[in-house]
Chains A and B, each alone.
Chain A
């Protein structure tokens, strides 16, 4: 299994509070991604990174920011959590070579009350 760890695995937070989710990899892969999974929507890309300090927006980036200060860590921040951000969040990594299959973390279940 690819070395990818998400933390925390579960979190309940209140509306309006900031929340940071962490993705840590030990594979030295260049590309990292944050997705959210919601019923009826599948997996939607929030932000992705193609290198240290190189990030770009995905299809549902509003309300989220990311940072990647080193290869192994990709942080997702909800500046002011809202109930619509209740979801399961998945981090993924990819080397970018060949068929570019991505390896996913176990997910973080976030509930905003």
Chain B
């Protein structure tokens, strides 16, 4: 049962344009959502997060939007840069004391110069 889903395995975007990565979830008990970026042969690195009580969080070129009624979140990257080319994972934390974090399957972003 995939509680966090990223339905697009890959995405190609021209440099300077907007990249939009999508994520859907099924568990209403998630209280935090996070995005991670992963380069080949490296561990994932934290990018940005959003609390379930908010609908938007922005950090420089990265903005995450949360639509709780649709159980959907998205990551916007503006403008996209070639160095943004990586695999992006959406993740969600279960509320409660155990901090269990569930990841999606990832979206490979390619930013074309």
Using Cβ atoms and an 8 Å threshold, which residues of chain B touch A104?
A: 36, 43-45
CA distance A31 to B6 in the complex (A): 25
Closest Cβ–Cβ distance, residue B108 to chain A (whole Å): 11
The bracket for how many chain B residues form the interface is: 20 to 34
Contacting pair B44 A42 (CB below 8 A): no
Contacting pair A43 B98 (CB below 8 A): no
CA distance A103 to B45 in the complex (A): 7
Any chain A CB within 8 A of the CB of B89?
A: yes
CA distance A33 to B51 in the complex (A): 21
A4: nearest residue on chain B (CB-CB)? B43
Any chain B CB within 8 A of the CB of A112?
A: no
Given contacts A50-B99, A102-B34, A105-B43, 18 further A-B contacts (CB under 8 A): A42-B104, A42-B105, A43-B89, A43-B106, A44-B103, A45-B100, A45-B102, A48-B100, A56-B98, A59-B102, A92-B43, A94-B99, A99-B32, A100-B49, A100-B99, A104-B43, A106-B43, A107-B42
Chain A positions near chain B (C-beta within 8 angstroms): 31, 33, 35, 40-45, 48, 50, 56, 58-59, 90, 92, 94, 96, 99-107
The 3 A-B pairs with the shortest beta carbon distances in the complex, nearest first, are A104-B43, A42-B105, A43-B103
Chain B positions near chain A (C-beta within 8 angstroms): 6, 9, 32, 34, 36, 41-46, 49, 51, 89, 91, 93, 97-106
